């Protein structure tokens, strides 16, 4: 199947490779910045264009990958659906719940398959935690704490810094955890969120959202774009019979490479314990669905609910009051 990638900087470049790894052909790369489109297209012998809507109607394109800034996702999803193309859209699905509804309606009307990249569902560590919860390893869960922290992302032309566009760390980053919470523990009932944003002397966004889930579980999600460098994820799941803890700093696998005697100091190269990138697993899952087999692990409705949780958290942070979902 042939893929066109729209939005070719950070995520677009990576997804093009992931799609190819799964047997798709990348035939076109589109970006408002033609040079960005060209720099990715050249690696795949694909066409480059800045006509981002034009590329959607190419007869040789079967699937469109949408890796543009969040508020632009819906217009591309709707246009791709109208052109009869299947769609892989990066998360967040939309900037608002209403946008997500429009996208779902367009895909349903056109009978095309719409996948949203909630990649945390494909991370081995998170899958292992989900399995342990499902197997009752820690008994009845009462409390969950999730943490996700990294640098303030730059993005092309600084769009992440504009809260109206990106939704800040709460919508853009914590949405990974919101989706995973729903995936494992069901729907949320209400949220209280506090967030601090600073632009001087540098950009910082720090947010803490506490959910009461419909089944009574309390879940605290902390997200920061305040790290000077690096990226860290933590999880803690407390049940009446035990606790599951995960910290991405505690790399479970280390590849220790010994150099030949006299060839210099040995080095220690920490490597990911995952055999296949979770971003590739997303494309593999999408492909199985496209092939008419199992439905993908993430539905568009799941992605809408994640946006609902994130926008409710933002509303709570703004008003200082809990928000019912």
Ligand X SMILES: NC(=O)c1ccc[n+]([C@@H]2O[C@H](COP(=O)([O-])OP(=O)(O)OC[C@H]3O[C@@H](n4cnc5c(N)ncnc54)[C@H](O)[C@@H]3O)[C@@H](O)[C@H]2O)c1
Residue 32 CB, shortest distance to ligand X, in Å, is: 4
Distance in Å, CB of 130 to ligand X, minimum: 18
Q: Which of 31, 177, 179, 305 binds ligand X (CB under 6 A)?
A: 31
Minimum CB distance to ligand X smaller for 89 or for 213: 89
28 is a contact residue toward ligand X (CB under 6 A): no
- Verify binding: residue 150, ligand X, rule CB under 6 A: no
Does 90 engage in binding with ligand X (CB under 6 A)?
yes
Closest CB to ligand X: residue number: 9
Q: Give every CB contact of residue 2 below 8 A, 6+ residues apart in sequence.
A: 24, 25, 26, 27, 60, 61, 62, 63
Are the C-beta atoms of residues 120 and 176 closer than 8 Å to each other?
A: yes
The reply on whether position 311 binds ligand X by CB under 6 A is: no
Least distance CB 82 / ligand X (angstroms): 16
Q: How far is the CB of 17 from ligand X (least distance, A)?
A: 13
Please give the residues from 108 up to 127 whose contact with ligand X meets the rule CB under 6 A: 117, 119
Closer residue to ligand X in complex, CB, 72/316: 72
- How many residues lie near ligand X (CB under 6 A)? 25
Task: Specify the long-range contacts of residues 20-29, CB closer than 8 Å, at least 24 apart.
Answer: 20/44, 21/280, 21/283, 22/280, 22/283, 22/284, 22/287, 23/287, 24/63, 24/283, 24/287, 25/1, 26/2, 27/2, 27/3, 27/58, 27/60, 27/61, 28/4, 28/55, 28/58, 28/61, 29/4, 29/5
Q: Which two tokens stand for residue 123?
A: 């991370």
Subset of 164-203 contacting ligand X (CB under 6 A): 172
Yes or no: say if 159 and 153 are a contact pair by the CB < 8 Å rule: no
CB nearer to ligand X: give 150 or 322.
150
Residues 39-78 that bind ligand X (CB under 6 A): 52, 67-70, 72
Q: Give dist(CA 72, CA 174) in Å, integer.
A: 20
Shortest reach from residue 12's CB to ligand X, in Å:
6
The binding site for ligand X (CB under 6 A) comprises 6-12, 31-33, 36, 52, 67-70, 72, 90-91, 117, 119, 155-156, 159, 172
């Amino acid at each position: 199947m042939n893929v066109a990638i729209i939005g070719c900087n950070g995520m677009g470049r990576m997804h093009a490779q992931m799609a190819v790894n799964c047997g798709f052909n990348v035939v076109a790369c589109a970006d408002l910045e033609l040079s960005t489109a060209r720099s990715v297209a050249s690696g795949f012998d694909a066409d480059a264009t800045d006509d981002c809507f034009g590329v959607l109607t190419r007869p040789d394109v079967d699937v469109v990958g949408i890796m543009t800034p969040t508020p632009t996702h819906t217009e591309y999803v709707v246009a791709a659906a109208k052109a009869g193309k299947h769609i892989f859209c990066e998360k967040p699905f939309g900037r608002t719940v209403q946008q997500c509804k429009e996208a779902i309606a367009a895909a349903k009307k056109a009978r095309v398959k719409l996948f949203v990249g909630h990649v945390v569902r494909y991370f081995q560590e998170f899958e292992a935690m989900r399995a342990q919860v499902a197997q009752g390893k820690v008994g009845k869960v009462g409390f969950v704490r999730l943490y996700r922290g990294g640098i303030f992302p730059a993005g092309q032309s600084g769009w992440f810094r504009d809260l109206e566009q990106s939704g800040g760390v709460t919508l853009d980053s914590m949405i990974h955890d919101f989706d995973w919470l729903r995936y494992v523990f069901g729907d949320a009932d209400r949220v209280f969120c506090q967030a601090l944003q600073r632009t001087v002397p540098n950009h910082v966004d720090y947010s803490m959202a506490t959910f009461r889930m419909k089944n009574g579980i309390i879940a605290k999600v902390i997200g920061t774009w305040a790290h000077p460098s690096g990226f860290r994820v933590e999880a803690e799941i407390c049940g009446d019979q035990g606790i599951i803890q995960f910290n991405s700093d505690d790399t479970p696998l280390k590849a220790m490479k010994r150099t030949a005697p006299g060839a210099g100091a040995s080095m220690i190269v920490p490597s990911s314990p995952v055999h296949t990138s979770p971003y590739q697993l997303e494309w593999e899952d999408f492909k199985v669905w496209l092939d008419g087999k199992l439905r993908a692990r993430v539905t568009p409705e799941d992605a809408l609910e994640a946006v609902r949780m994130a926008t409710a958290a933002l509303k709570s942070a703004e008003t200082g009051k809990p928000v019912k979902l």
